[in-house]
Structures are given as C-alpha cells and as structure tokens.
A = this chain, B = another copy of it.
Amino acid sequence: MRVTVSVPGKVTLLGEHAVVYGKPALVSAINRRVYITVEGRDDSNIKIFSNDIKLQGLSLKLNGEMSSFEFETWEKKSQILEPLRYILKALEVAAQHYGKKIGANIMVRSEMPIGAGLGTSAAISVGTVAAYSALLGHEMNLNEVARMGHATEVAVQGIASPMDTAITTFGGTLYIKPEGTKPFIERIDVPCDFTSVLGYTQREETTSQILRRVKAAKDQNPKVVELIMDAIGLLVEEARSCIKKGDPKSFGDLMNINHGLLDSLGVSTRALNEMVYASRSAGALGSKLTGAGGGGCMIALCPDRAKEVSLAIKLAGGVPFEVSLSSPGLRVEPPS
C-alpha cells in the first residue's frame, strides 16, 4: 500500500511574537506544499528518502527499533537531522496512538525552503502523522491529525503553539487568539485578492535564539515591550475587520505598522528591511517580515504588482516567490 498526502506551508500575516504573549495572530495557508508519501514494507524497518533542495541526497534507514541511522550523505547531516526528528517523532506518536507499528518507506518533498518560518516542521509533522495513519488502516480525522501533529512538535521542540499545525491541517486563513490551553480559532473568508510575494533570505539566527532575545528585551523594558505587544494585538483585531470588509489597502497599512513594531522588538535584519522597503517602492500595499525574523521570510501584499515586487525583492538580494493565500489544508493526493 502507498499513500501520498500534501500539506500547505503557512505564512503569519500579522501578530508573530506577540502571539507568544497572549495576543491574537492571523495566519494563512499558502499554495506551496510539502508532499509525504508512505509505502508499506515487508520488514519492520523505516526508510526515509528526500530529494528536496534542503534535504538533497537524504536516504535514511532505520531498523525496527529505530535505533540506528544510515545516511547516504553526511555532508548536510545537521540540516537533514532537523526535519528528520519531526518525521521520526510523528511516526512514534501515530504508532503509539493506534497501538500498532509497521515498517514503511517515507518520501518527503517540499515546494518551499525548510526552516524559513513557513511552517514546514508543522507540515512535515502533520503530513507524516496523516499518511502513516492511513497506512495503518485508519480513516483520517482532521482534529485528531492536528492534535497528533501538535504533540509531535511539542515532543521535538519542548514547546509549540498549536497555530502552525492547525493552519497546515485545516488550511484557509485563521484568526487565532491564545486563551489558556485551548486557543480561540476563527476561520476567516478572504473575499478579495490577497496575492502576495514572499522574499526569502538566509536565517542569521535560529527561532529559539530570537524568542530568547525578545524575552530578554521584555525583561529589560517590560512596560515598553508590553505596550508594543498591545499595539500588535490591537492591529491584528483591526486587520481582521479589514479582511472581512475586503479592504487590502488598509490591511497593507497595518502590515507596515506591524513591521516597524517587529523591528522595535529587535527581530528584523538589514536584509529583511531591504526587501520590505524595496517591495513598498515597487508598489506593494504593505510589507513586513513574517515568522520569527532574524532572516527567513518577508511578505509583501501586492495583488496588482506581483511581477514588480518579485523583481524588487530579487534586486534587494532575496529569493522571491509568489503565493496565493487561503489555500486548502491537508489532502490525500491521487496515486501517481
């Protein structure tokens, strides 16, 4: 038996970082996907393949106890190990949930850079859980898959917001407000064209380094940083209305404000700023870094100017790619 599922990447439209401190955020699934194929084996081994840009040449073989690793290439071991941890943990979580474990070949392919703030770790976790569940003979229940995907992220990272696994499972655009252990999630229809261009640049810091730095800034200037978080929370509320009203222009203005506030938290970089400002010069309605910052991605909302903004991002030294928002969530792909 062989099952292929695909899961979208996500982009944080507004509210990253502040969401860690209880403020709402807006996230949207993009039309770049991770494809996970699982295939039964005659033995109880796990073998993982990938021919992704970032995972190129990966071929990992595990024996039934998942205790020994065989890499075909050792060159990119640290880059490879990161996504691997999510795959292995997702298999474990699903196997445990169903009380059943079988051998499998697992193929991973990503249409977007890994570790760029586009939710690829959540997508890999959710996709692996879903495909392996199907291989084990279980119907895919989206709520269950999202929960297991989140459990996978928590197990690997120690702590994880359920935001990424939720958006990647359900797709669309979500307004998410942390409330105790269970966040309030509202699905939002996007009634008009929110075509955007993402610009990618190398990460200079890891997400956990950046999260620590924001925490340190908050400890050093608690009142000032709290006001900044409040401002971000408030602009997310305003932006939610802008989407509902179909007002991308005002939404863009709020993106610009949000970028400055993220800059004030110390999470922007010269390269991100370059792309953000170049996009505005090229006619974007708004632009900001997206995700944790410290490099990674920025997003420019530019329904009528995608070509010009892509060029501007390229000239500013980034890698542009056009995306549609509110893309579908987890789905089973037809057999190839």
Q: A residues near B, CB below 8 A?
A: 217, 220-221, 223-225, 227-228, 230-231, 234-235, 238, 250, 253-254, 256-266, 268-270, 273-274, 277-278, 281
Q: Find chain B residues with CB under 8 A from A250 CB.
A: 220
Contact of A253 among B220, B235, B256 (CB under 8 A): B220
Roughly how many angstroms separate A144 CA and B265 CA in the complex, as a whole number? 43
Output the least CB separation between A274 and chain B (Å): 7
Can you give 19 A-B contacts (C-beta < 8 A)? A217-B257, A220-B250, A220-B253, A221-B253, A221-B254, A223-B234, A224-B231, A224-B257, A227-B231, A227-B234, A228-B228, A228-B257, A231-B264, A256-B264, A257-B265, A259-B264, A260-B261, A270-B274, A273-B277
Roughly how many angstroms separate A265 CA and B265 CA in the complex, as a whole number? 15
Q: Is the CB of A224 within 8 A of B217?
A: no
Q: Find chain B residues with CB under 8 A from A253 CB.
A: 217, 220-221
Output the least CB separation between A16 and chain B (Å): 14
Output the least CB separation between A285 and chain B (Å): 13
Q: Find chain B residues with CB under 8 A from A266 CB.
A: 256-257, 260
Main SS of chain A's interface residues? Answer: helix
Roughly how many angstroms separate A268 CA and B281 CA in the complex, as a whole number? 13
Contact of A262 among B258, B260, B281 (CB under 8 A): B260
Q: For the complex formed by this chain, how many copies does it contain in all?
A: 2
Output the least CB separation between A283 and chain B (Å): 15
Q: Find chain B residues with CB under 8 A from A270 CB.
A: 273-274, 277-278, 281
Roughly how many angstroms separate A282 CA and B279 CA in the complex, as a whole number? 26
Output the least CB separation between A303 and chain B (Å): 20
Roughly how many angstroms separate A39 CA and B235 CA in the complex, as a whole number? 58
Roughly how many angstroms separate A257 CA and B221 CA in the complex, as a whole number? 10
Q: Is the CB of B265 within 8 A of A260?
A: yes
Output the least CB separation between A222 and chain B (Å): 10
| Most chain B beta-carbon contacts within 10 A, residue among A223, A227, A262 | A227
Roughly how many angstroms separate A61 CA and B235 CA in the complex, as a whole number? 55
Which residue of B has the minimal Cβ distance to A265? B260
Q: Find chain B residues with CB under 8 A from A254 CB.
A: 221, 224
Output the least CB separation between A43 and chain B (Å): 54
Roughly how many angstroms separate A277 CA and B264 CA in the complex, as a whole number? 12
Output the least CB separation between A14 and chain B (Å): 11
Q: Is the CB of A264 within 8 A of B273?
A: no
Known A224-B257, A228-B231; 10 more pairs at CB < 8 Å: A217-B253, A220-B253, A221-B257, A225-B257, A227-B231, A231-B264, A257-B264, A257-B265, A260-B262, A260-B266
| Most chain B beta-carbon contacts within 10 A, residue among A259, A263, A269 | A263
Q: Is the CB of B224 within 8 A of A227?
A: no
| Most chain B beta-carbon contacts within 10 A, residue among A231, A256, A268 | A231
